[in-house]
Structure 1
């Protein structure tokens, strides 16, 4: 079964102004994008609706985070129900910045993921190891443990709404990139874990994408790997080269 190539753009806490946001949207709207690629961008929460309303329909919009309750006294949070009501189809959960800077555990990420899927959202579920963990040869152990929390929380049918993003923490925003072999080996291990922990059919169908200083210069070799089903792009998603990354396999 062919898995549709997926390219996500995580704007993080960017752009810094409404004017810059408009320019980003205009760039995407004018660009010819490979129709065979699912393209999703995640702007800051403040800009979610404005981006959704002005962006061409071929590009979907994601929230960068959500809570696991549908409503209530949770200052500063957005609920899955609110995202669904606003017709935002995707949410990014478990990004390393949420785990490290804001102390989110794999169990909390899994709880959020289940709540998001139950509400009707699709989830870009992020996993990844630190440099110390890679050097200690614990990559598979770490990403499997991060995934296990999600496996324990989700039903098998829920996996049709999940895109797994492998993002080695040591490669995010550092300019360092996992080699194509490192990305392929780890993502093959992730797929093998899903096959064992959920089912071979789910493993075969689930898209596993790579994130970590992806650029127009390195995306071609990475995209050629059999278990790299796309990218979650950080800094380059704010630049015109994001178009080149989306179109990496365009014939």
Structure 2
């Protein structure tokens, strides 16, 4: 589902890239707006509701990573980083700063559109769907409302983090491999390099849910395999 009419903001200082993205995405039924600088992008995200942001890291005024961090201070809008930087360190930094996905230039429009659809699916899942309430000690996951509470306080999770948590919690006690997590949360065909996506977002979850995220008492690491949600231990 391409979610026709979904609003996408492209933050990129290259007019040719913005034009190509605008024409292609509009052809797929999306509504596209543009920003040629980081400052303009931040203003547009803060003043107009966006369904997804495509963000270039090499902006002329503010580094894209800083733009991403500022957006993440008050918004959970899905963000796909689009950049010529292809080093693993850059990808990890973008993910750790709150990006939902990472696409390097040059890129195929088919792949980008597919990744946009996945990100929109995570960001726009209905909160009215029927579902159970999962309780693990002080941790409560209300699947119908897509909310998470710990010790009575609501925990703010990104759509990716929430989907990872629910997949693990619904399979509590079972080992879920990197491949299974990636295919259920991100969709698409799994490659070994995608394990890094999973590890980074699991790290984010642990920081929000566990007293000592380095040890992992709730989300356990199964070396060389994946993760297991331990329903016997309260966070």
- TM over 0.5: same fold? no
Structure that is richer in strand per residue: 2
Q: Which has the higher contact order (CA 8 A, sep 6+)?
A: 1
Shorter-chain TM-score category?
Answer: 0.3 to 0.5
Calculate the TM-score normalised by the size of structure 2. Answer: 0.36
